[in-house]
Structure 1
Amino acid sequence: MITLFRPRGVSRTILLLLFHCLLPGFRDPVLADIPETLCPDNGSHATNSAYQDNLNELTSSMQTNASFSKFFEDSSGNYPNKVYGRYMCLDYVSHSTCRTCIAKGWEDLLKLCPNKTEAVVWEESCQLRISGQEFFGRLTEGNKNQFNPENISDPGKFGLVVNETLSFLAREAALDSPGTHYATKEKNFELGTNMTLYALAQCADLTADDCRKCLQEAIRNVRDCCYFSKGARVLSPSCYLRYELYGFMGPVEMSGKADQKKKSGKQWLIEVLAILSLCLAAISLCSWLFFVIVKRKKDLADRQGRPLLTSDSAHGILPFRFTRGNTLTEIQDHPYFDMRCILAATDNFSETLKLGQGGFGPVYKGILSDGRVVAVKRLESWSEKGSEEFRNEVLLIMKLQHKNLVRLLGFCAEREEKLLVYEYMPNRSLDVFLFDAQRRIELSWSRRLNIIIGIARGMLYLHEDSRQRIIFRDLKASNVLLDRFMNPKISDFGLARIFAGTENEANTATLVGTYGYMAPEYAMEGLYSIKSDVYSFGVLLLEIITGERNAGFWQSRRAPSLLAYAWQLWNEGRAMELMDPLLHNKCCPEELMKCVHVGLLCVQEDAFDRPTMSAVNVMLKRDAVILRQPLKPAFSAGRFTHQSKGGVDDDDCSVNGLTVSTVAPR
């Protein structure tokens, strides 16, 4: 009989806790060959160095998160002293066991791999890894094998059982959700007597293919060293594989230990009934408390005359109502975060957790009670535009689902506070890297190209693929966030506009946006359309290629703007000189030239001549596309010192008279 175990979620957690409480004799075995370490000779750091300071900060972050999450990745510091770290607890252990294991793991890692910039340590139920190089989501080699010295009586037959079971697990774990590739299995077989093989496989944050490759290599290690052993495990920096002849995967399976007395069917029935009774009692208590809290909130809202926040379903989804002028807006089926939860997550909006300051308020890093790391945008209560932006962002983002758009996890609206809770982007925004001479070196050409294509896909979704056509109106480097793999996600929809039906453009008397990214027809006439976003994308594309800001480019004394400089080099056949010097010619010339070409097509002065984002995506992804020659860009006016050699003539400067006082900068 083959049974696949996938214990997960609240029910599994409750059962494990109850078993630990009711059956204290069940405990995970502790093997003598733990801890196991891998300390490659890839470099070392001084005790009082900046690397050590970053490592200490990372240690604190990981130990804090171990109380809530069994898998966590983070980084600390800046290049070249940036430290990347990850811990992974085995899925069957409790959070308290995970926390204890992580604390012990850090002690052993520092003791057994002192001053190493690259190290891995495996404890009984967890793994820790640090590195000066990013390894998140990447398959890493370097397995360690451990095996039981006791051999089986019939290694040939036993080896077939082990191989079949582990191969099955490799397939099942690879099919599990990314970041939690986990599967267990127990198989009954005959080998003189009835026996049961218990096995477990788990991968880190790998793709399904890489998870399968890692586990298959581990299985090959088992075949080579120890398929005839009564138990073995393979410890890899990227995955974990183990099998035993006793249930090592938690309290329930531990009854299979040789020294554990078998319980009668009546005893098991009594214990199961006791557990079910406790679960029902806990559910009843939680339900009673839930309805009491909801009733109190309703009574309080009625007394104070404030908008009502009430329960909408058994899933904890809350509808949100607020009034703006004479308009009542309802937002349903979207997670609502209690203010106390937000305050606890952000340590009362501590300055040490502040990620940045936007035009409508600061953004803070927060850690929720379930271990999720989030970014909390706190809209300024004094801002007249705060309510408008809050309304726009909640209404828009809750309808948008795309891998290149930042995900809104929920919101909070209590008293004067208006808060938006987003997924946390550990690498913050693109401008943090792009316009910093030291950090920009982390943006290789392949990463820059991936960022350009990702932004283009996100903008295409907004313009054509979402349920409603959306004009973003504020595309710039600071509104592009980067996840841990440096993938781009467009954020900050406070200035976005929905276009209904066949509407293609609109006028506004109030200009909003950012100097340097605004299309000329928008800056001069208040006319905006999807082609306005295309212009902003073209500016951003050229900034990504060069590592230079469009605004303030005149200070370099080369041209009045980045666009003017790019146009000059293009006409002179020297467009390759636009390449950021930090790339050191490590990019494909054909790819760079195509990106420059596309960028210049996007920033043409006449909106009609600019391509759509659909056409931009085709041009970026296909090699055989013939691109038409770009026309003169719309240059932003600014100070410019004429150069006697190789400079731009005054005639090349546009008469566009936009100044920063015309705009409402963010």
Structure 2
Amino acid sequence: MIKVGSLQYDLATIRTATNNFSDENKLGQGGFGVVYKGKLPKGQEVAVKRLSSASGQGDLEFKNEVLLVAKLEHRNLVRLLGFCLEGDERLLIYEFVPNRSLDHFIFDPIKHAQLDWEIRYKIIEGVARGLLYLHEDSRLRIIHRDLKASNVLLDEDMNPKIADFGMARLVVRDETHGNTSTIVGTYGYMAPEYAMHGQFSMKSDTFSFGVLLLEIISGQKNSCFRIEESIEDLLSYAWKNWKEGTTLNLLDPTLRNGPTAEMKRCIHIGLLCVQENVAHRPTMASVVLMLSNNSFSLPVPSQPAFFVHNTNASDMPSSFGSWISNTRSSEEQSAPLSYNNVSITELYPR
């Protein structure tokens, strides 16, 4: 059984490890605070999250959440090593993941070529297994609510680790969903029932995974992108090409010599995950099975959420334009890209 004392670091140790939170050691900054690289006395490299003082959380609640997050142990999740709570300082100490986040590779016009199909498939499988652990295999049942490319970190072997549990929700073991009046997360990755009605579930995480999978395969962001004189979004473009039998149009050009059958199957799985009807989306257990067993038969997907037909920008309906304007979160619009952008989980038992 994990005890608070075994996870607690003193402030002096962390100040030394981060060179007193120097700018040279700063890895990134998000809504919850600043992340610094540090080195502990025995040489272990860590990422230190210095939480902002605006969280309004009490000491007991902070310690309880640390205990909950520390119980999550899976090779595809960033591991919490400990915390520091002294005076006004609330610090979280995580394992250091050296290869930055997935978005620094997949959307970079040069670095994306480093991700061959073998690496991309490993990332897809690893993220799926990490989500399955959160949903079904851990002692808790956690819905992440903010899965996206910037929240997937890559270790030295390019293995993926899901990070940033700042939006996560804890539900009891026999529950699979919940409701909230506060919508948090990133537009474009949000399932429609969550974005519009505050209904979150394991299937809303499945939707986010489907969007991420299509991004990994295409090298394109989910938000609207221009193809010649037309406006498209990634889900609509994927659906249109799947229906027309031109699925390979979706591929990142660097993947054109890869195993086409496996890549088509992954696109098929991605489309199953982003279906508008929640009941039609697979569980992450089914997704992992689909990815690991090519003989597993895939159902035919239905139209994805937010699907719009290809149209000229001048003819685009204002309602769609309104949705497109929200596909980038305020974090993506104004905050710098963060490195090891991790934060304490907001776990709310129901």
Q: Indicate whether the TM-score tops 0.5.
A: yes
- After the TM superposition, which parts of structure 1 deviate over 6 Å for at least 4 consecutive aligned residues? 385-389, 653-656, 661-664
1:603 alignment counterpart: 274
Structure 2-normalised TM-score?
Answer: 0.86
Cα gap change, 1:544 to 1:359, in 2 (>3 Å): same
**Could you say what secondary structure the match of 2:232 adopts?**
coil
Cα gap change, 1:636 to 1:518, in 2 (>3 Å): farther
Q: 1:413: how far off?
A: 1.0
Contact 1:636–1:654, Cα closer than 8 Å, also in 2: no
Residue 330 (structure 2) pairs with residue 660 (structure 1) = no
Q: 1:642: how far off?
A: 1.1
Per-residue CA distance 1:89-141 (angstroms, 9 max, x = gap): xxxxxxxxxxxxxxxxxxxxxxxxxxxxxxxxxxxxxxxxxxxxxxxxxxxxx
Q: How does 1:72-221 map to 2 (within 5 A)?
A: none
- Larger RCO of the pair (alpha carbons < 8 Å, separation 6+): 2
Q: 1:556: how far off?
A: 7.2
Structure 1: distance between partners of 2:133 and 2:89: 31
Q: 1:406: how far off?
A: 0.8
1:543 alignment counterpart: 215
Counterpart of 2:294, as a letter, is D
Structure 2: distance between partners of 1:436 and 1:337: 37
2:342 alignment counterpart: none
Counterpart of 1:631, as a letter, is S
Cα gap change, 1:661 to 1:610, in 2 (>3 Å): closer
Residue 163 (structure 2) pairs with residue 494 (structure 1) = no
Cα gap change, 1:389 to 1:548, in 2 (>3 Å): farther
Q: 1:395: how far off?
A: 3.7
Q: Which protein has the larger Cα radius of gyration, Structure 1 or Structure 2?
A: 1
**Could you say what secondary structure the match of 1:510 adopts?**
coil
Q: 1:519: how far off?
A: 0.4
Counterpart of 2:122, as a letter, is N
2:346 alignment counterpart: none
Which residue, out of 413, 427, 439, partners 2:111? 439
Q: How does 1:49-448 map to 2 (within 5 A)?
A: 332=4, 334-384=6-56, 394-448=66-120
Structure 2: distance between partners of 1:430 and 1:369: 30
Structure 1: distance between partners of 2:77 and 2:202: 17
Structure 2: distance between partners of 1:578 and 1:508: 35
Residue 294 (structure 2) pairs with residue 623 (structure 1) = yes
**Could you say what secondary structure the match of 1:402 adopts?**
coil
Structure 1: distance between partners of 2:70 and 2:270: 31
Q: 1:526: how far off?
A: 0.4
Structure 1: distance between partners of 2:291 and 2:251: 17
Per-residue CA distance 1:633-661 (angstroms, 9 max, x = gap): 012789x86189xxxx979x979958639
Structure 2: distance between partners of 1:592 and 1:433: 19
Q: 1:550: how far off?
A: 0.6
Structure 1: distance between partners of 2:31 and 2:228: 27
Q: How does 1:639-658 map to 2 (within 5 A)?
A: 642=312, 657=323
Counterpart of 2:312, as a letter, is H
Structure 1-normalised TM-score?
Answer: 0.46
**Could you say what secondary structure the match of 1:382 adopts?**
helix
Cα gap change, 1:461 to 1:566, in 2 (>3 Å): same
Q: 1:560: how far off?
A: 3.3
Query: What is the aligned-residue RMSD (CA, Å)?
Result: 3.0
Percent identity, aligned pairs only, is 53
Structure 1: distance between partners of 2:251 and 2:324: 28
Contact 1:550–1:562, Cα closer than 8 Å, also in 2: yes
Cα gap change, 1:556 to 1:542, in 2 (>3 Å): farther
Contact 1:392–1:494, Cα closer than 8 Å, also in 2: no
Q: How many residues align?
A: 331
Q: 1:441: how far off?
A: 1.3
Structure 2: distance between partners of 1:556 and 1:631: 27
